[in-house]
């Protein structure tokens, strides 16, 4: 077999890892001093081993290490000579700070932001839309304490880790991540955000916090959310009222309102906008925003894009290993989550570069099946059958 003609010189996993500059890993290791106590397992070997586990969907360290053992003839392409021992990898997951993996993710995001960002979203005239939401990953209570009473049958109580994320709507990846025990209220995440002037941010009503809304209004950071059913407000002015028209859809009412919150002994009044909207399915939504300039239709359209982050969480949970964890400590769990985020970001970059029409799930499945195969990655992702015919047909290869 003519290997030079039919195959590329690097396996698929090696081609994926080439998207992570060695200097980026070295700088992150230096920043967190993460190689000082891990001579047997440098940061790069640790990262590559875990990314192998993520892409091959390993449900435990034993699967991961045995999978690497089967690839020992090809590990030189990945930058190390032999597969790490399971005990060595387990110790590193428990001791090496997850912050170094968070740093790698942030640096990769900065590097590829221009590649994965779209210039616009359909129907929107704004240029900086962020989406906030959280997703809970179930764990046993002895890892992260859960909410509620102990179980009567004596079984271990379920806990959970809540992943709070801020997603860039124009790139489709998370820009800021924070992990807390599941019992921590969603609103605490808002205090960690640093948003530039004229940003738009959208989230559901679980995050409603009038004190934070007031601060954003002063900073000219705009938000769109849904109003709670029990919210107390005062109507100052009615801008639009179409509620009298029968079978009307779209914007039914646009109002200027004030809401109050307590600050020490005083009650502070905050001016907001309340938009009532009737969807095509007949459901009625009530939105609030602190932006008084955009149209009421734009307010409803911005909130509609909040579902992008729900799809992102679904994409991550369905295509990457987050049902079983490679360690029983908070640090090990956070490392695994950040490795999943790194893998998802790399897949978005590859999908953009290859200009493929494959779904994300189909693309990651093809990659998983050919992780250590010697095929040219971008052409294989774009059109798998055409790429395979080209390596087996010299006429197509030269065309």
354-378: per-residue pLDDT in tens? 888 888 889 899 889 888 888 888 8
Under 8 Å between Cβ of 14 and 77: yes
What pLDDT shows up at residue 121? 64
Least confident span in 37-41, 154-158, 161-165, 220-224: 154-158
* pTM (two decimals): 0.84
Token output for 91: 């110790």
Q: How many Cα atoms sit within 13 Å of 175 on the Cβ side?
A: 21
* Section 89-116 average pLDDT: 92
Is residue 314 scored above 80 in pLDDT? yes
276 three-class SS = strand
| Straight-line distance from the first to the last Cα atom of the chain, in angstroms, rounded to the nearest whole number | 21
Identify the DSSP state of 164: E
Confidence at 381, pLDDT banded by 50, 70, 90: confident
159-195: per-residue pLDDT in tens? 578 888 898 888 888 888 888 877 777 778 888 888 8
**Which percentage of the chain shows pLDDT scores above 90?**
30
The string of DSSP letters for 279-344 reads: -TTS-EEEEEES-SSS-HHHHHHHHHTTHHHHHHHHHHHHHS--SS-S-SSHHHHHHHHHHHHHHH
Rg (CA), the chain: 25
What pLDDT shows up at residue 388? 65
What pLDDT shows up at residue 339? 93
Mean pLDDT over the full length of the chain: 83
Please tell me the total number of residues recorded for the chain in this structure: 399
Closest CA to 48 of 18, 9, 27, 70: 18
Under 8 Å between Cβ of 330 and 318: no
126-163: per-residue pLDDT in tens? 778 899 988 887 754 444 444 444 545 544 445 578 88
* Section 224-237 average pLDDT: 91
What pLDDT shows up at residue 220? 92
Token output for 231: 């919210």
Sorted by where each begins, the domain ranges of the chain are 3-101+323-398
């Amino acid at each position: 077999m003519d290997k030079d003609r039919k195959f590329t010189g690097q396996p698929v996993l090696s081609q994926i890892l080439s998207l992570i500059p060695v200097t980026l890993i070295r700088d992150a290791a230096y920043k967190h001093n993460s190689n000082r106590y891990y001579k047997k397992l440098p940061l790069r070997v640790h990262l590559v081993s875990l990314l192998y586990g993520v892409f091959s969907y390993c449900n435990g360290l034993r699967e991961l290490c045995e999978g690497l053992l089967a690839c020992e003839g090809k590990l030189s392409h990945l930058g190390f000579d032999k597969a790490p021992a399971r005990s060595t990898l387990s110790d590193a997951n428990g001791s090496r700070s997850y912050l170094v993996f968070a740093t790698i993710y942030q640096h990769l995001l900065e590097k590829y932001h221009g590649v994965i960002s779209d210039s616009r979203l359909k129907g929107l005239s704004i240029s900086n839309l962020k989406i906030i939401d959280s997703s809970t990953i179930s764990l046993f209570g002895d890892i992260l304490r859960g909410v509620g009473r102990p179980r009567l049958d004596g079984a271990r109580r379920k806990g959970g880790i809540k992943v709070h994320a801020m997603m860039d709507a124009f790139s489709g990846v998370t820009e800021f991540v924070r992990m807390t025990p599941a019992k921590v209220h969603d609103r605490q995440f808002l205090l960690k955000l640093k948003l530039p002037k004229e940003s738009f941010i959208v989230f559901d009503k679980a995050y409603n916090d009038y004190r934070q809304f007031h601060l954003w209004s002063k900073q000219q950071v705009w938000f769109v959310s849904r109003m709670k059913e029990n919210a107390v407000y005062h109507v100052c002015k009615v801008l639009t009222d179409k509620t009298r028209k029968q079978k009307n859809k779209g914007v039914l009412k646009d109002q200027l309102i004030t809401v109050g919150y307590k600050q020490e002994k005083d009650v502070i009044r905050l001016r907001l906008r309340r938009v009532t909207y009737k969807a095509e399915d007949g459901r009625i939504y009530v939105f609030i925003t602190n932006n008084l300039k955009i149209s009421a239709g734009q307010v409803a359209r911005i909130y509609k894009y909040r579902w992008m982050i729900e799809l992102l969480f679904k994409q991550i949970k369905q295509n990457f290993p987050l049902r079983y964890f490679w360690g029983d400590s908070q640090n090990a769990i956070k490392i695994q989550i950040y490795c999943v985020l790194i893998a998802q970001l790399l897949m978005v970059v590859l999908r953009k570069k290859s200009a493929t029409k494959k779904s994300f799930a189909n693309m990651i499945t093809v990659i998983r099946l050919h992780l250590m195969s010697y095929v040219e990655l971008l052409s294989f992702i774009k059109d798998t059958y055409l790429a395979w015919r080209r390596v087996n047909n010299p006429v197509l290869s030269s065309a």
